């Protein structure tokens, strides 16, 4: 505490004067964190990758149930492309790399790509 002249103002008065807050209650400003942009991971049909391998990849890499993996696989097979999931960029990029690595290790040309959601 300062040993100088007393101003006659309480600590609350000084706080209100400095902050412009007449209630004496501290006000928190809320800053909203911006969500990262999302990307869809697309899987592309080809003539060589087996349906069983696609289902296995959807289950291992994208954590799909057997039923959901089969549904997505059939959509890819009939439509040529299907959405495996939607993620922030870094996660989507990692999932694509995992699919390509597993496909290469198993001798399949399976491809995935990203598109902004």
Which is more confident, 4 or 63?
63
pTM, two decimals, is 0.72
Q: What digits encode the pLDDT tens for the residues 15-47?
A: 566 656 556 566 667 788 899 999 999 999 999
Residue ranges and CATH numbers for the domains of the chain are 38-116 (3.30.1390.10)
**Beta strands of the chain (E only): which ranges?**
38-44, 81-88, 111-116
Q: At what angle do helices 51-62 and 66-79 cross, to 10 degrees?
A: 130
Instruction: Give CA–CA dist 53/76, Å, rounded.
Output: 13
pLDDT digits (tens, 9 = 90+) for 78-110: 999 999 999 999 999 999 999 999 999 999 999
Task: Give the list of residues 6+ apart from residue 82 with CB closer than 8 angstroms, or none.
Answer: 42, 43, 72, 73, 75, 76
How far, in Å, CA of 57 to CA of 105, rounded?
12
């Amino acid at each position: 505490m300062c040993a100088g002249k007393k101003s006659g103002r309480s600590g609350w008065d000084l706080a209100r004067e400095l902050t412009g807050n007449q209630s004496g209650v501290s006000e928190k400003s809320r800053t909203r964190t911006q969500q990262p942009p999302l990307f869809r991971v697309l899987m592309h049909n080809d003539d060589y990758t087996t349906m069983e391998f696609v289902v296995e990849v959807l289950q291992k890499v994208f954590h799909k149930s057997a039923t959901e993996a089969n549904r997505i696989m059939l959509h890819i097979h009939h439509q040529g492309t299907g959405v495996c999931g939607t993620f922030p960029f870094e996660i989507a990029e990692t999932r694509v790399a995992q699919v390509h690595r597993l496909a290469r290790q198993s001798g399949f040309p399976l491809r995935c790509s990203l598109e902004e959601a």
